[in-house]
Structure 1
Amino acid sequence: MTGVVTLTRGQLTLPEIGGQAEALAAAWEQLKNQEDWVHSYFGDTEYEEVVFIGSGSSYYQAQVMATTFKSWLGRSAVALPSSDIFLFRDQSVARGRKVLLVGVSRSGESSEVILALESVKALSNWTICGISCYKTSRLALMAPCLISPLGKEQSTVMTKSFSSMTYMMQAAIALAAGGHYAEQMEAVLKLHGDIVNRGKSFAESLVEDNEFIKYIYLGMGAYYGLSQEVGLKLKEMSYVWTESYGTLEFRHGPKSVVEPGTLVCLLVSEQARAYELKVAEEMKAYGAFVLLVATSKGKDTAFADAVFEIGGETLSDEARAVLHLPLLQYFGFFTAMKRGVDPDHPRNLTQVVTI
């Protein structure tokens, strides 16, 4: 299968996955130039609620961002689909609160994000801002935005844009939080390049050596949004059906779908590692192929069929979030290539979704 990547299929997506370490580093440098944004928005403790919104992958980013914000700053935050704000605002956010609305969009042109921001920009108790990869986009022109300078992509599917925007927003939260959080985000940069390199060969071998009929992704905390995202990546690129769940929630009914030929991929946190590995071991007993993405191997992971180590044991679970992505993005890519599908141009999809 190694030679197949030289074909026209996948020629955009593969280098974009491979270029994300550089995209993260550029986002970190850009953030240093936008520290006023950090102080103006995340440094303002008058906001009673911070609402991160996005659509599709950007909504999953928003989930990671909101979880990190709550954990590191100890303030109220939530992630919502963009459409909830302009169609169901009063059911989604309590009336009368002082709200910071953060729009998340790779292109900055997503109709639903734009409609959401426009629906509240005239309200005195709402303030809008955002993050994108394009400084001349509609989003960036209507609201002050963080810009990931190397997040731009030609491929339809989000890979390095997702990683770099998520990292950049987490780094902004780290700067607002102070203390050791910024040091953790710098440590992530040092780990990321090696993970991108190792993830490629690991994912390629995993796809070559196995035939799966079902794909399940599990994660908790900041990794729940990631589990949804990596499941979506595989679905978008290769057209296979995937599902994602909160790790312990998967035991309450959904586990009935597990049988031989099922891949169960668990994004392992350190905070809940013992509980999560119990779930994974149970799925192994039902016949699943268990893939663990964890800080390190140990006696507690010996039961698994495959373990990919990301390191960073001394970092918080939130800081390590983007380290899970390269392997599982590559897994989606190589699955698509094996199935004869072009991951650059998935059917029915476009980079920008309009309504």
Structure 2
Amino acid sequence: MTLTSREITSQPAIWREALAGHSERATALLTLPGSRILVLGCGTSAFVAESFAALRESAGFGETDAAYASEPWPWRNYDAVIVLSRSGTTTEAIDALDRVPAGVRTIVVTGVADSPLADRADDVLLLDFADEESVVQTRFPTTFLLLARAAFGEDVSALPDEAEKALGRPLDIDVAAFSHFVYLGSGWTYGLAQEAALKIREAAQAWAESYPLLDYRHGPLAVADSRSLVWIIGRVERSLVADIESTGATVVSGVGDPLVELADAQRLAVAIAELRGLDPDSPRNLTRSIVLS
């Protein structure tokens, strides 16, 4: 069993620890009722930022924008900026935080307390118990989103048990039957779809795409065939499923909580990597944190 596999299956226990000991601080730092917030991240953290922004705004806590820390972003008189970085050392994230105007509250969510980002922030949501050794992130982003959903008023108390059951079952996907993997999501689950596809690209060097649910008809559907696996996370549109299946592709329509589905998607990435003889913990050309000279 690879390190990534152990970190994936550890998620139910990590989620329980998060809810038991970190919900109060997460609520204080992530809700900020009425505040206009910008959330920044790179890679996985950028996709998680998109999901977080959709969740917070739909929960009624205030305008929330998400952006890539590595890309220029317009300033809109934000009250606070949240930067997501597992390592706390990502150069673009540090540079982005340094560009925040004086007087704007800065909050860093990280797994490392004594990191450059943590040192620069006004407040830190420390998730060191969810940190991981693998280059490929799994439990850190899901733990953050679990805490965010709890902070926004969702009852997520049953999710650790649901995840434990799901991760204890066989994946039930013939990995060798597919060469093309697509994830679709809607609303906050589009960020999850992007993250699920990234896991396959990172860990398995395989062809993986992600799209907003209903936009899949608008061009990308042309690529689907019998070697395609299309996984819908969250809301399902039955007419779209029929259109996808008419290409010969296999559709997986999620029936569980989207966050649990993401954990299952992580398992699929590891399974593809192992089939290809790859180490999912040490992807080609990647490091745990992008630190630029």
Which range, TM-score by smaller chain?
A: over 0.9
Tell me which amino acid in the other structure corresponds to 2:85: S
State the alpha-carbon separation in 2 of the partners of residues 131 and 40 from structure 1: 10
Gap change, CA 1:281 and 1:141, over 3 Å in 2: same
Aligned length: 291
The C-alpha deviation readout for 1:77-116, integer Å capped at 9, x for no partner, is 11110123xxx34xx233xx24310000111111111111
Task: Name the counterpart of 2:109.
Answer: 131
- Cα displacement (A) at 1:67: 0.8
- Cα displacement (A) at 1:41: 5.9
Match of 1:206 among 168, 173, 191: 173
Task: Name the counterpart of 2:241.
Answer: 280
State the alpha-carbon separation in 2 of the partners of residues 33 and 231 from structure 1: 32
Q: Secondary structure at 1:259's aligned position in 2?
A: coil
Task: Name the counterpart of 1:152.
Answer: 131
- Cα displacement (A) at 1:44: 4.6
- Could you tell me which runs of 5 or more consecutive residues in structure 1 were left unpaired when the two chains were aligned: 6-10, 175-180, 295-309, 311-319
Identity %: 27
State the alpha-carbon separation in 2 of the partners of residues 128 and 277 from structure 1: 42
State the alpha-carbon separation in 2 of the partners of residues 163 and 40 from structure 1: 17
State the alpha-carbon separation in 2 of the partners of residues 164 and 345 from structure 1: 22
State the alpha-carbon separation in 2 of the partners of residues 170 and 112 from structure 1: 27
State the alpha-carbon separation in 2 of the partners of residues 255 and 223 from structure 1: 19
Q: Do structure 1's residue 173 and structure 2's residue 152 form an aligned pair?
A: yes
Tell me which amino acid in the other structure corresponds to 1:282: D
Gap change, CA 1:110 and 1:170, over 3 Å in 2: farther
State whether residues 29 and 125 of structure 2, in contact with CA within 8 Å, keep that contact through their aligned partners in structure 1: no
State the alpha-carbon separation in 1 of the partners of residues 254 and 229 from structure 2: 13
Match of 1:43 among 28, 32, 36: 32
Tell me which amino acid in the other structure corresponds to 1:327: D
Match of 1:60 among 23, 34, 47: 47
State the alpha-carbon separation in 2 of the partners of residues 262 and 228 from structure 1: 17
> Which has the greater radius of gyration?
1
State the alpha-carbon separation in 2 of the partners of residues 207 and 103 from structure 1: 38
Gap change, CA 1:226 and 1:252, over 3 Å in 2: same
Q: Do structure 1's residue 29 and structure 2's residue 25 form an aligned pair?
A: no
State whether residues 260 and 288 of structure 1, in contact with CA within 8 Å, keep that contact through their aligned partners in structure 2: yes
Q: Do structure 1's residue 110 and structure 2's residue 68 form an aligned pair?
A: no
The C-alpha deviation readout for 1:323-351, integer Å capped at 9, x for no partner, is 22121100000111011111111110000
Gap change, CA 1:266 and 1:40, over 3 Å in 2: closer
Gap change, CA 1:257 and 1:41, over 3 Å in 2: closer
TM-score (normalizing by structure 1): 0.77
State the alpha-carbon separation in 2 of the partners of residues 250 and 32 from structure 1: 36
Higher helix share: 1
State the alpha-carbon separation in 2 of the partners of residues 268 and 161 from structure 1: 20
- Cα displacement (A) at 1:65: 0.7
Task: Name the counterpart of 2:156.
Answer: 185
The C-alpha deviation readout for 1:246-279, integer Å capped at 9, x for no partner, is 111010111111122111111132xxx3xx2221
State the alpha-carbon separation in 2 of the partners of residues 195 and 141 from structure 1: 38
TM-score (normalizing by structure 2): 0.93
Tell me which amino acid in the other structure corresponds to 2:18: A
| Deviating 4+ runs (over 4 angstroms) | none
Point out the more displaced range, 105-114 or 52-61.
105-114
Q: Secondary structure at 2:17's aligned position in 1?
A: helix
Q: Secondary structure at 1:150's aligned position in 2?
A: helix
Task: Name the counterpart of 1:252.
Answer: 218
Q: Secondary structure at 2:225's aligned position in 1?
A: coil
Q: Secondary structure at 1:191's aligned position in 2?
A: helix
Tell me which amino acid in the other structure corresponds to 2:254: V
Cα-Cα RMSD: 1.8
State whether residues 193 and 233 of structure 2, in contact with CA within 8 Å, keep that contact through their aligned partners in structure 1: yes
State whether residues 216 and 262 of structure 1, in contact with CA within 8 Å, keep that contact through their aligned partners in structure 2: yes
Tell me which amino acid in the other structure corresponds to 1:128: T
State the alpha-carbon separation in 2 of the partners of residues 109 and 265 from structure 1: 33
Q: Do structure 1's residue 289 and structure 2's residue 256 form an aligned pair?
A: no
- Cα displacement (A) at 1:185: 2.0
State the alpha-carbon separation in 2 of the partners of residues 40 and 338 from structure 1: 42
- Cα displacement (A) at 1:138: 1.9
